[in-house]
Amino acid sequence: MEQKKETDKQAEKVIEIKGLRKSFGNFHVLKGIDLDVYKRENLVVLGKSGTGKSVLIKIIVGLLTPDSGDVKVLGQHVDQITYKELLALRLKVGFSFQNSALYDSMTVRENLEFPLIRNQKNLTKGEVNLAVEEMLDAVGLLNTINQMPSELSGGQRKRIGIARTLILRPEIVLYDEPTAGLDPITCLDINNLINEVQTRFHTSSIVITHDLTCAKSVGNRVAMLLDGQFQRVGTFEEVFNTNDERVKPFYDYNFIQ
């Protein structure tokens, strides 16, 4: 897939991170990072395991508190708002979990109904049914509506997980390793779906991944997290056009070995 053009720097910022630091005891994970995410942009975050990628997105949704720095999401300072305001903000930020996080005891329909019924109590049963069917159709799995998660393939579970994330129509989607554990063909399907979601629902996204094919396919920009800071940020080509020995192994492992 042809690399997308870099996001217009004049676009509206939906996430603004300045001087963010987070440590756990003597383990300094984030060491003063700066990062902006723009409206309708897919930003890919790359980095080795344990470099703080998951810590970053947990701070963005207020599950972890930073030691210092500022995190602003959709115009709100995450660590300065009330708990009620934080809950309201989280409804605008969808989280697509690595393991899809479906409820095994519920059908596909019930999995998608759950967040709607819990958060939009004024909807009629007909409106809930319509929303569920529209979202399943959007991910190409309307035919699975009455199936149990155990009856689905790994790729189908990923798609259903994304559908459930989208059913509340978030403005921002956080994807955690969306292609992990999938075969190459299914990975391509998920990459295409992430791009379709961006186009159809006008979402802004952070995509955490080790998969450089995914990064190249879906990322308007790529941010490489190394040694607690974003060392390289730009298009896929800009990030990997370097002799930096900390960066080259990512490319070599994905495309040479």
pTM equals 0.89
- Closest of 225, 174, 175, 221 to residue 33, by C-alpha: 225
Contact 42, 198 (CB under 8 A): yes
Q: Who contacts 81 (Cβ-Cβ below 8 Å, separation ≥6)? A: 89
Q: Name the residue with tokens 């035919």.
A: 143
Does residue 218 lie within any of the structural domains?
no
H or E, element range at 202 = none
Residue ranges of alpha helices (H) inside 66-182 are 83-90, 108-119, 125-138, 154-166
Residues 100-117 have pLDDT tens digits of 789 999 999 999 999 999
- The dihedrals phi and psi of 226, each to the nearest 5 degrees, come to -135, 135
151 within a domain of the structure (yes/no)? no
Q: Decide if 85 is inside a domain.
A: yes
pLDDT value at residue 5: 43
Residue 12 lies in a domain: no
Count of CB atoms situated within 10 Å of the CB of 201: 16
Residues 146-204: pLDDT tens digits? 999 999 999 999 999 999 999 999 999 999 999 988 999 999 999 999 999 999 999 99
Q: Is residue 256 part of a domain?
A: no
DSSP H or E segment with residue 195: helix 184-201
Residue where the block lists tokens 């896929």: 236
- CA 37 to chain centroid: 12
Residue 65 falls within a domain, yes or no?
yes
What is the pLDDT, as a whole number, of residue 243?
84
| Residues in the chain where the model's pLDDT stays below 50 | 1-7, 257
| 66 assigned to some structural domain | yes
- The verdict on residue 67 lying in a domain is yes
Q: Which domain holds residue 81?
A: 59-90
Strand boundaries in the chain, DSSP class E? 13-24, 27-38, 42-46, 68-73, 76-77, 93-96, 172-176, 204-208, 221-226, 229-234
Q: How many domains does the chain have?
A: 1
